[in-house]
Structure 1
Amino acid sequence: MTLSPAQQIALWADALRHMAASGLRFAPTLYDQERYHALQTLAMEMQAYAGGQAPEALEPLRAGVFSHVTPFCTADAAIIDAEGRLLLIRRADNGLWALPGGALEVGETPAQGAAREALEESGVASEPVALAGVWDSRLCGSMTRHHMYHFVVLCRPLPTQPKAPASHAHEVLGVGWFREAELPTDLDPGHVTRIPHAFKVWRGEASAHLDL
């Protein structure tokens, strides 16, 4: 996969973010902490440059995102019904179709997180049945500034669905069910390879994907 200059700068910045966060957590002296804080600031400035933003726009993320030591983890739900239709959402942030999903929360498994995110974004309750795979954001075309591991969990919709609307509907422009041969052409880049593999796992033609 060929990265754009902005994507490569963002990945370099994320590596610096990791070094700075690790250093700030374990630095033994005030001098070391000051140096790692400066490195953290450099990582934020690089990310701002890569995203066409002013550095001060990222300052609110210093304590949360830029102090995070390890790669981030997200979970997507590949919900396929008995007719072979896959649930997709149209994201509000970029207008593209994608699997419902998002960041995992402390205390939940990837399967639980995938089902929760799908319910919040689409209003569809589902049951996890299998792991479709784990993708590295650097290798699957994800449009993200930070290094992530994407868990994709194969799910089936529950026979009884909630009557209340989705709690995070503001994050979604639309919801639809699609057969594999009728997928929208405007898919989010990070989902272009993950969705076909989820269908293969559902049909029993492939095992869980793992980036090596």
Structure 2
Amino acid sequence: MPIPEFVLALRAKVGSDPLPLPGVIAVVLDEHGRVLLVRRSDTHDWALTTGCLEPGEQPVAGAVREVHEETGLDVVADRLLSVEALDLSVAPNGDQVHWLAVGVRCRVTDGTARVNDDESIQVGWFDPAEMPPLPPHQRRCLDLALSEDPHAWAAGLTAV
């Protein structure tokens, strides 16, 4: 998926300076407890399904949309996992982003996982015990999705 039009419009004004953007991380589990990963076309790393929210889009709707766009799967979200401001990231083109990432656990309702856009080159199901390396914030989302603890995680939040 190309850079969203609204981001291009913002970049025309701010250049590559840091831009705060809302994003989602979807942890998709199948009926066997396996985890869906996509192999990114830009880095060739395995990752959870992620994406940028459109203006006004709710995080759960964005997670469901991103999973379908990237893998062709229909999913429903069943649990909020995390809300986290990520460290500044720099894209290969030099654009800087401060992501506010919302992690959501999803389960498949229909479809067969496949590469469904140009953001990934491979899609696969992985046993949680045999996962490839993931970035720390994605690993945290995965661990939370596999946990029996129903509470969402956020930096600085004190559990009650």
TM-score range, shorter chain: 0.7 to 0.9
- Classify the secondary structure of the residue corresponding to 2:101: strand
Aligned to 2:84: 135
Rounded to whole Å, the distance in 1 between the matches of 2:150 and 2:120 is: 30
On the 8 A contact 1:76/1:117 being kept in 2, the answer is no
How far residue 132 of structure 1 moved from its aligned partner, in angstroms, is 0.8
Q: Give structure 1 stretches of 5+ with no counterpart.
A: 1-59
Task: Tell me the alpha carbon deviations over residues 36-72 of structure 1, each in whole angstroms, 9 at most, x when there is no partner.
Answer: xxxxxxxxxxxxxxxxxxxxxxxx933266688x721
Q: Give structure 2 stretches of 5+ with no counterpart.
A: 1-9, 91-95
Percent of residue pairs bearing the same amino acid type: 31
Task: Tell me the alpha carbon deviations over residues 159-205 of structure 1, each in whole angstroms, 9 at most, x when there is no partner.
Answer: x3279972xx21101101112101113x34542333222221xxx23
Aligned to 2:123: 175
Task: Tell me the alpha carbon deviations over residues 82-106 of structure 1, each in whole angstroms, 9 at most, x when there is no partner.
Answer: 2111111011111111111210012
The answer as to 2:108 corresponding to 1:161 is no
Rounded to whole Å, the distance in 2 between the matches of 1:123 and 1:90 is: 15
Aligned to 1:194: 141
Letter aligned with residue 138 of structure 2: H
Provide the TM-score with structure 2 as the length reference. 0.76
Q: How many aligned positions are there?
A: 143
Rounded to whole Å, the distance in 2 between the matches of 1:191 and 1:209 is: 13
Letter aligned with residue 11 of structure 2: L
Q: Aligned to 2:13, which of 56, 60, 63?
A: 63
**Higher-helix-fraction structure:** 1
Q: Aligned to 2:61, which of 95, 99, 112?
A: 112
**Higher-strand-fraction structure:** 2
RMSD after superposition? 2.9
